[in-house]
Amino acid sequence: MADKTASIQENNTAQSDNSTEEINDTVKISNNMDNTKQANAVKTVQTGMTISVPDEYTKTSSHSGKVVQIEYDSKNYARDSSPVTKTAYVYTPFGYDENDTDTKYDIIYLMHGWGGHAGEYFEYGTKNIFNNLIEKGDIPPVIIVSATFYNENSNTDFSGSISEFRQFHKDFEENLMPTVESKYHTYAKDTTPEGLKVSRDHRIFGGFSLGSVTTWLEFCYDYDYIRYFLPMSGSCWYYGTYGDFQIENNVNFIEQLVHENNLDERGYFIYHAVGTEDVVKSQSINMANEMLSRDTFTPEHYVFYQKDGGQYDLYAVQEYLYNALPVFFGSDKNKHL
C-alpha cells in the first residue's frame, strides 16, 4: 500500500499529533446505496482531513424531519436474558408518509458512547445537520435510528458498558432492527433474517467512542445485515479491551471475515474517523495503519479521515457525519474528499 498512502505517524502523547498522510492516488468509491448508480460514484482518496460543517448546515431547516420515541421488547443479554423494555428514537425525513408503502428508504443506525442515551444523535443541533444534508441534496431522504446498548437494568459504569455493547448485536438482530423495519418503510421485504439480509445494501451503522467499538463489532457479527459502517473515535475490540487493543489480531479477524464471506464481491465500506487532538486517538490511528498496510482494504472498502484539531467531543462527531454520509450515498457535493 506504500504506493497509495504513507503510514500514519503519531507521537505517544494525547496532547499533540504529528500524524501525516501523503495522498498520491485518487480512486473511485463504488459504495453507492443503489448499485445501479455506481458508475456515478464520487471520487475520493483513502486518507485525508475532514472539512468543517458550514454554518448553514447548523441552522434550522424549513424541511425538518420528525423524531419519535419507540419502545420495544428485548432481553438483558449481558446478564440473564430476562425480558426488558428498551427505547430508541427514530427520525423520519420531511415528507415521509406512513401510508405510502411504495416509497422505500435507506436506514442509518447510530450508537452513543459511554454513559450516553437513546436519542442522543438528535440533540445539540445534530438533527439540523441531517435535515440540511437532505434538503440540500447531499443525501437522499433517510430514516435514522438513535439507539442504545443500555436497558433499564444496565450497569452503566465502564466495565458494565463494555459488557452491554458486546452483546448489542443480539438485540440488533433479534429485536431492534425487526421492530423498526416492520414499522417504517425500508428496503426490507420482511423482517425475517433472510428478508433483512437481502436488504443489507440499504443499511448503515455508525457510532462514537464505545459506539465506535460497537460499530466494529457490528461489522464482525452483522456484515450479513449491514454494508456500510462509520466508526468514529474507536477501534475494534473483538479481541482485547480498552488498554489491550490487540490491533493486529483484530485486523487479522476482519480480513478473515472479508475473505471467508466473499465481502469483496458482496460489498462493504468503512469510513473510519478520529480527531488529531482526540485523547484516545492512538487506538484509531494504530488500527488505521494496520488496515492500510493490507492489500485487502482498498479505498473501495476502507478510508480513514481525521478532523484537524478535532477533540473527543460532539463537534467532531457532527463533522464526521457531515463528511461521511454523502460518501455513502455517492453525493457529487462531497468531491472535496
Is 98 a domain residue? yes
Q: What is the pLDDT of residue 7?
A: 37
Beta-carbon contacts of 251 under 8 Å, excluding residues fewer than 6 positions away, are: 236, 287, 290, 291, 294
Q: Which three cell numbers stand for residue 220?
A: 464482525
Do the domain assignments include residue 237? yes
What integer pLDDT is reported at residue 182 of this predicted model?
A: 97
Q: Give me the CATH number covering residue 96.
A: 3.40.50.1820
Count up the domains in the chain and report the number: 1
Domain assignment present for 13: no
Residue 127 lies in a domain: yes
Q: Provide the domain limits for residue 43.
A: 27-334
Does 280 reside within a domain? yes
What is the dihedral angle through the alpha carbons of 19, 316, 279, 5, rounded to the nearest 10 degrees?
Answer: -20
How large is the angle between the packed helices 210-222 and 247-260, nearest 10 degrees? 30
pLDDT averages per 10-residue partition of the chain, 337 residues: 35 34 29 39 77 97 97 96 97 98 98 95 97 97 98 92 96 98 97 97 98 98 98 98 97 98 97 98 98 97 98 97 96 40
User: Is 8 a domain residue?
Assistant: no
Residue 5 lies in a domain: no
pLDDT for the residue numbered 43: 54
The pLDDT, as a whole number, for residue 1 is 32
Residue 326: the pLDDT is 97
Q: Do the domain assignments include residue 119?
A: yes
pLDDT at 330: 86
